[in-house]
Structure 1
Amino acid sequence: MSHSQIAPYGSWRSPITAALVATSGVSLNDVALDGDDIYWLEGRPAEGGRVVIVRRAANGTIADVTPPGFNVRTRVHEYGGAPYTVDQGVVYFSNFADHRVYRQQAGETPTPVTPEAPLRYADMTVDRGRNRLICVREDHSGDGEAVNAIVAVPLDGTTGQQVLVAGSDFYAHPRLSPDGTWLAWLSWNHPNMPWDAAELWVAPLREDGSPGTAERIAGGPDDAAFQPEWGPDGALYFVAERTGWWNLYRWHAGNVEALCPMEAEFGLPLWVFSARTYAVESAGRLVCTYIERGEQKMATLDTQSGMLTPLTLPFSDFGFSGPRAANGRVVFIGASSNTPSTLVMLDLASDALMTIRRSMDIQIDPGYISTPQVVEFPTEGGVTAFGFYYPPHNRDFRAPEGEKPPLLVLSHGGPTGATSASFDVGIQFWTSRGIAVMDVNYGGSTGFGRAYRQRLDGRWGVVDVDDCCNAATYLAAQGLADPARLIIAGGSAGGYTTLAALTFRRVFKAGASYYGVSDLEALARDTHKFESRYLDRLIGPYPERIDLYHARSPIHHIEQLNCPVIFLQGLEDRVVPPDQSERMAAALRTKGIPVAYLAFEGEQHGFRKAETIIRALEAELYFYARILGFEPADPVEPIQIDNL
């Protein structure tokens, strides 16, 4: 400390630049095993956000599978996920540009197996015995809502697709039994989201491959089913919520049994098709991840005794794509508070851990990394909420005596989602500059049981806002933040929480909304099918409770918003259209409140391009500096701030 320079919080020079945040690494997702080969997806901001399938061969050689010009993504449910599968060295994937499914054999050019049509595909599995893919299809050819179904797609590229299951609003996780005689799947209907009431169905397959009489074995109101997987012995494993917690179950010989009852979450909200929490390693053992009081762990589960054995690993977060396991080895993506996402392979017999791929090749000096602290704080109604507090940390700087740091409160998206303590270089961008961060798991977040998640039912824009405000005031009361320099930011649903907190409370001095919701009624009218009835539970039925939609929409209460806001928006966003940000910015501009609005061509719901990520992050820093009155250590390209 004696060699540290003294500089105000916010003005510390940091090696963690916006360019480093955007270009230093890749995203790792959706692991698959095919014999001794390991496959995964890499999202590459430096390639315009292109997603590529990568393969590690048994001999250790790593190479791209997807050739240039192809982008492995799907827009089923808009959020996509599970855009590929692999079987005996042949890869099948959804191409983002045309939504067609392509077949690619090793070393060959991909060839389409689906027609040119307004159809989207996801969550594929190969039915080898019938030479077909079974997958979720979303049909956008009609004038009304898209039509979802589970279909069979011939692998030879012929056009005759067979509809296997239809009639429900949504489907996910079609899973074929090892002997090819049974099909399992999830389905749910408006106004439910999958974490509200997804049902698990099974049906025998006839000789022509069509399902016979289907039986519902789990799920429904207050019991959302999740992730069916077949074991080698014909048992079907799944996650259900019968006790108020997502726990593991098994269906075998017509009977359902709980495997390991406990107050922990073995499931996740099904925002993307690739969400998984466990793998069947053998008939007698599962490898699973679970969340207990907001902390994620990995363990093996003996399927006969129910014994859960936690694994000792250098990771505290395992993401949403879960483990893959076979023949005594486990492949997964792990992270910790100081370790970026890393693809690793674990030998269950020897506990040997092999690193396959790091999301970041650049090593950041620990002297610039802030370690999160778990915080449990009081909130409205006499209950508690949770979050992770990141103090300012930079080995080269310290603040003047007596100065308290600005605090950036982060409200995660969803709102049915959660944040974790895994390494986030974006958070370190702020803390290494002398700005504290509080990442809040407000009421409605997952990882704390169904009751905690249901705190938000009918109270979106109230409970989440209260919890973010109380997190900030609690830390300020502890002397960990300057009460006069509290700011809030969030994206999507977190952007709505941000705007509602700035409009209806007097806690924060400024905020940043990334593609956030400002008009709940417009969202209910204009958003895509997957979320078109989401607000029925979070707010109330529309239009019957239009009074609540207006009462909680910041756009209708602009007279109450008197602090500066920066809006950052993708112009091709179908989830939260640009109009939501544009109207809000225009209203603030007219009112005379400092406001900035940045729109990005070619970006959708969530920024993927390196140049966008860099510009947005630097713009947000510049905005806070001008509003809170600190000088960034390095030059930042100015943005236009109206009314400043």
Structure 2
Amino acid sequence: MSEEKSAVPAWEQRFRAARVSLPDWADDAPDRALYVSNATGTYEVYAWDRATDTHRRVTGRPNGTTDAELTPDGAWVWWFDDNDGDEFGIWRRQPFAGRPEGAEGPDEEAVPGLAASYSAGLALGRDGTVVVGRSTDEHGTTLHLRRPGAAEAVEIYRHEEYGGVGDLSHDSTLLAIDHTEHGDAMHSAIRVVRLSDGATVAELDEVTGRDEPRGVACLGFAPVEGDTRLLVAHQRTGRWEPMIWDVATGAETALPLRDEQGRELPGDVSAQWRPGAAALLVEHEYEARSELFSYALDTGVLTRLDTPRGTVGGATPRPDGTVEFLWSSAAEPSAVRSTAGAVVLRAPGAVPPRSVPVEDVWVDGPGGRVHALVQRPAGAAEGDGPFPTVFEIHGGPTHHDSDAFAAGPAAWLDHGFAVVRVNYRGSTGYGQAWTDALRERVGLIELEDIGAVRDWAVASGLADPGRLVLSGGSWGGYLTLLGLGVQPESWSLGVAAVPVADYLTAYDDEMEALKSLDRTLFGGTPEEVPERWTASSPLTYVEQVRVPVYISAGVNDPRCPIRQIENYVERLEQLGKPHEVYRYDAGHGSLVVEERIKQLRLEIDFVRRHLGAGVVGENRVDGTAGAPGAAVASGVAGRDGGTG
């Protein structure tokens, strides 16, 4: 063991350890699959021939690639090509086996003639039918159809509000579209159209004309030729549940999902078809954890699948009857597992060092009980403390923190901090009312819940009130800056990554899909309800900030654009407020491992310098610790489009 290797901090090992995502396989060629890995130090797309167990890197770009799909026959890999993380680009394609030897230049355009845009989904049919969803500031959402043999794609849908490709039917005759034409971006509707003539076959809208809007979302057509059943998610019971909708007849089939004791599953429930469409794979998310079931449609029997306590970060049913899933817990690094009992896919090298488990805490807040996940430094027992504490606020806002392995919080624990993560109102997994509660008083609602948990952390003896760090990325970065101004006496430091800082300017510059979401959250545009936007903008409260602020930002970020961050920084400078800013050449987060390590190193250094005595150094462990295995996968989704 070399001296250099043994000196690698545990937290850096967690970032550098090779990771793999859950493999996606081709519907008609199940031995061909795609996954994302950081094995080269940058997250890229890999093709995996499972029959020969050969792996090939498909993409190789300086800022990484994560969005890719296989054609149903497994012959082609489609991947989204943007510019330095700005999410504005085109689809390209490459043969699954690789480009011909000696081929030069970029991969071919998958659909020639379509200009660059933000992606609004992609559907690839078995007969070669292609539907590409595009979003632009000028035209809103457009969907384009290219039939087999056609030279060009034709526009088949356009609307100024955001929408996207849902799914193609198995025979490519029907297309499901998720849309928000009614203007409520938090509750989508579904339209099914016939591709032969563009006629609407069916519409499922739980928003228009209703006092309490409910969302519906496409989960996929039955994978059977001529089958017109569509699996959809709905909120009719105040939480997400699946049902089957036959778009040809209009018949709706409720799914009475009950566990072994006959109880309804209490959390949000999603589902996907199992091969052959005789059963469903069901995923249940509840109180920051998840579990898997199989549901037989003929008998209505729900059977629990054996998964450890923690979080399933994705699952896929295989034709042989097994289910593969990506699992982790806060203490245990992730792995791609099978219900057959094996680890399906291992990343090269060592697994990252373990971390510490989470404790569940429930705190009475102004809008109900707030769930928080708490971690104490390694070796600390309940009753030890108080500790310097980082409140790590999740993004989204329609997302939630879970009992899952995360390298960022683990790094703070290694440095002697307690870590608290709050599933504030606006978070998913606690019912629709909890998620929808943040509307109109945007940001302020979430801070009330965070404040209640902060008060509990101090009163319980966990957190040192003189060493409290408010931190987060994306929406979490927004809440950090807003919290420093709205709750100036509650926090010792602020660390905000890719935040919303000046909400009015952010609205002008952000991608159109997020403008639609913001109009829904605030109940109108900045011109229509200016007082709400002003009350929720961190820039409004910058004069009240009393503590040092650290901000990091991607210069190509379309979600939290750089100009509005510069406005906030300029105001900090004018007021003489202590702050530090780090700008990097990427979008909403980085897919480059060394860049992510650099960013966290800068944050840790900032916090340690300003908090002073009592903050311990970093733990160092043997760089060869652990056995070969997989770790956390990356992903891009929602406003919180950064990587995981």
TM-score range, shorter chain: 0.7 to 0.9
Q: Distance in 1 between matches of 2:21 and 2:256?
A: 30
Instruction: Tell me which residue corresponds to 2:154.
Output: 162
Q: Name the CA shift for 1:15/1:297 in 2 (closer, same or farther; >3 Å).
A: farther
Q: Distance in 2 between matches of 1:124 and 1:541?
A: 30
- Partner-residue secondary structure (3-state), 1:377: strand
Instruction: Tell me which residue corresponds to 2:76.
Output: 91
Q: How many residues align?
A: 582
- Partner-residue secondary structure (3-state), 1:624: helix
Q: Name the CA shift for 1:360/1:483 in 2 (closer, same or farther; >3 Å).
A: farther
Instruction: Tell me which residue corresponds to 2:58.
Output: 66
Q: Name the CA shift for 1:159/1:331 in 2 (closer, same or farther; >3 Å).
A: same
Identity of aligned residues (%): 22
Once the two structures are superposed, what CA deviation does each residue of 1:545-595 show, in whole Å capped at 9, x if it has no partner?
A: 212222232212222111111011111112111233333233333333321
Instruction: Tell me which residue corresponds to 1:245.
Output: 239
Q: Does 1:286 align with 2:283?
A: no
Instruction: Tell me which residue corresponds to 1:104.
Output: 95
- Partner-residue secondary structure (3-state), 1:229: strand
Code of the aligned partner of 1:342: A
Contact 1:72 1:84 in 2 (8 A): no
Q: Distance in 2 between matches of 1:69 and 1:623?
A: 31
Contact 1:495 1:517 in 2 (8 A): yes
Contact 2:377 2:414 in 1 (8 A): yes
Q: Name the CA shift for 1:32/1:548 in 2 (closer, same or farther; >3 Å).
A: same
Shift of the alpha carbon at 1:36? 3.1
Once the two structures are superposed, what CA deviation does each residue of 1:597-626 show, in whole Å capped at 9, x if it has no partner?
A: 1111x2111122223212211111111111
Q: Does 1:331 align with 2:339?
A: no
Instruction: Tell me which residue corresponds to 2:364.
Output: 378
Once the two structures are superposed, what CA deviation does each residue of 1:328-350 show, in whole Å capped at 9, x if it has no partner?
A: 1222222223332322333xxxx
Contact 1:32 1:324 in 2 (8 A): no
Deviates more, 1:355-364 or 1:494-503: 355-364
Q: Distance in 1 between matches of 2:598 and 2:255?
A: 49
Q: Distance in 1 between matches of 2:406 and 2:284?
A: 21
**Structure 1 residues 125-164: aligned runs within 5 Å:** 125-129=123-127, 131-138=128-135, 140=136, 144-154=137-147, 159-164=151-156
Instruction: Tell me which residue corresponds to 2:342.
Output: 354
Shift of the alpha carbon at 1:30? 6.2
Contact 1:407 1:481 in 2 (8 A): yes
Instruction: Tell me which residue corresponds to 2:122.
Output: 124
Contact 1:33 1:324 in 2 (8 A): no
Q: Name the CA shift for 1:537/1:204 in 2 (closer, same or farther; >3 Å).
A: closer
Q: Does 1:172 align with 2:158?
A: no
Q: Distance in 2 between matches of 1:56 and 1:106?
A: 9
Report which structure shows greater RCO (CA 8 Å, sep ≥6): 2
Code of the aligned partner of 2:472: G
Shift of the alpha carbon at 1:29? 5.0
**Structure 1 residues 387-426: aligned runs within 5 Å:** 387-394=372-379, 403-426=385-408
Question: RMSD value over aligned CA atoms?
Answer: 2.9
Q: Does 1:226 align with 2:189?
A: no
Shift of the alpha carbon at 1:517? 1.1
Q: Name the CA shift for 1:149/1:324 in 2 (closer, same or farther; >3 Å).
A: farther
Code of the aligned partner of 1:174: G
Shift of the alpha carbon at 1:429? 0.9
Once the two structures are superposed, what CA deviation does each residue of 1:354-409 show, in whole Å capped at 9, x if it has no partner?
A: 2122468433455xx2110111111124x111121011115xxx79x975211100
Deviates more, 1:491-500 or 1:106-115: 106-115
- Partner-residue secondary structure (3-state), 1:339: coil
Instruction: Tell me which residue corresponds to 1:5.
Output: none
- Partner-residue secondary structure (3-state), 1:353: coil
Deviates more, 1:411-420 or 1:120-129: 120-129
Q: Name the CA shift for 1:633/1:410 in 2 (closer, same or farther; >3 Å).
A: closer
Deviates more, 1:179-188 or 1:605-614: 179-188
Q: Distance in 1 between matches of 2:176 and 2:516?
A: 26
Once the two structures are superposed, what CA deviation does each residue of 1:8-60 show, in whole Å capped at 9, x if it has no partner?
A: xxxxx99644532432233515623443315233142854x44213314224x
Code of the aligned partner of 2:612: G
Q: Does 1:212 align with 2:173?
A: no
Q: Does 1:53 align with 2:40?
A: no
Instruction: Tell me which residue corresponds to 1:271.
Output: none
Code of the aligned partner of 1:203: V
Q: Distance in 2 between matches of 1:402 and 1:335?
A: 27
Deviates more, 1:357-366 or 1:176-185: 357-366
Deviates more, 1:196-205 or 1:604-613: 196-205
Contiguous gaps of at least 5 residues in structure 2: 1-5, 83-88, 101-106, 258-263, 621-644
Code of the aligned partner of 1:517: V
Q: Distance in 2 between matches of 1:471 and 1:439?
A: 9
Once the two structures are superposed, what CA deviation does each residue of 1:160-210 show, in whole Å capped at 9, x if it has no partner?
A: 2123333463333432222333332322237422xx22112223443xxx4
- Partner-residue secondary structure (3-state), 2:370: strand
Contact 1:14 1:432 in 2 (8 A): no
Q: Distance in 2 between matches of 1:447 and 1:391?
A: 24
Q: Name the CA shift for 1:89/1:534 in 2 (closer, same or farther; >3 Å).
A: closer
Contact 2:129 2:147 in 1 (8 A): yes
- Partner-residue secondary structure (3-state), 1:179: coil
Contact 1:168 1:187 in 2 (8 A): no
Shift of the alpha carbon at 1:103? 4.2
Q: Distance in 2 between matches of 1:232 and 1:29?
A: 21
Once the two structures are superposed, what CA deviation does each residue of 1:257-298 show, in whole Å capped at 9, x if it has no partner?
A: 21136464546xxxxxxxx75343333211121212332111
Shift of the alpha carbon at 1:70? 9.7
Instruction: Tell me which residue corresponds to 1:565.
Output: 549
Once the two structures are superposed, what CA deviation does each residue of 1:303-353 show, in whole Å capped at 9, x if it has no partner?
A: 23333222121252122x54344341222222223332322333xxxxx22
Instruction: Tell me which residue corresponds to 2:418.
Output: 436
Q: Name the CA shift for 1:123/1:461 in 2 (closer, same or farther; >3 Å).
A: closer
Code of the aligned partner of 1:439: R
Instruction: Tell me which residue corresponds to 2:188.
Output: 198
Instruction: Tell me which residue corresponds to 2:492.
Output: 509
Q: Distance in 2 between matches of 1:282 and 1:406?
A: 54
Q: Distance in 1 between matches of 2:9 and 2:480?
A: 25
Code of the aligned partner of 2:344: I
Contiguous gaps of at least 5 residues in structure 1: 1-12, 74-80, 268-275, 347-351, 637-644
Q: Name the CA shift for 1:231/1:340 in 2 (closer, same or farther; >3 Å).
A: same
User: Given the two structures, how large is their TM-score scaled by the length of structure 1?
Assistant: 0.83
Q: Distance in 2 between matches of 1:408 and 1:198?
A: 35
- Partner-residue secondary structure (3-state), 2:415: coil
The structure 2 residue matched to 1:613, chosen from 596, 621, 626, is: 596
Instruction: Tell me which residue corresponds to 2:631.
Output: none
Q: Name the CA shift for 1:39/1:71 in 2 (closer, same or farther; >3 Å).
A: farther
Q: Distance in 2 between matches of 1:324 and 1:492?
A: 32
Q: Name the CA shift for 1:183/1:41 in 2 (closer, same or farther; >3 Å).
A: same
- Partner-residue secondary structure (3-state), 1:525: helix
Q: Name the CA shift for 1:443/1:359 in 2 (closer, same or farther; >3 Å).
A: farther
Q: Distance in 1 between matches of 2:350 and 2:582?
A: 29
Once the two structures are superposed, what CA deviation does each residue of 1:444-502 show, in whole Å capped at 9, x if it has no partner?
A: 10001101111111122211111112212212211112122111101111111111111
Q: Name the CA shift for 1:513/1:103 in 2 (closer, same or farther; >3 Å).
A: same
Contact 2:338 2:344 in 1 (8 A): yes
Q: Distance in 2 between matches of 1:633 and 1:494?
A: 26
Q: Name the CA shift for 1:38/1:124 in 2 (closer, same or farther; >3 Å).
A: same
Q: Name the CA shift for 1:634/1:420 in 2 (closer, same or farther; >3 Å).
A: closer
Q: Distance in 2 between matches of 1:220 and 1:459?
A: 21
The structure 2 residue matched to 1:301, chosen from 295, 308, 317, is: 295
Q: Distance in 1 between matches of 2:163 and 2:384?
A: 57
Q: Name the CA shift for 1:190/1:419 in 2 (closer, same or farther; >3 Å).
A: farther
Contact 1:127 1:133 in 2 (8 A): yes
Contact 1:340 1:358 in 2 (8 A): no
Q: Name the CA shift for 1:219/1:27 in 2 (closer, same or farther; >3 Å).
A: farther
- Partner-residue secondary structure (3-state), 1:569: strand
Contact 1:408 1:437 in 2 (8 A): yes
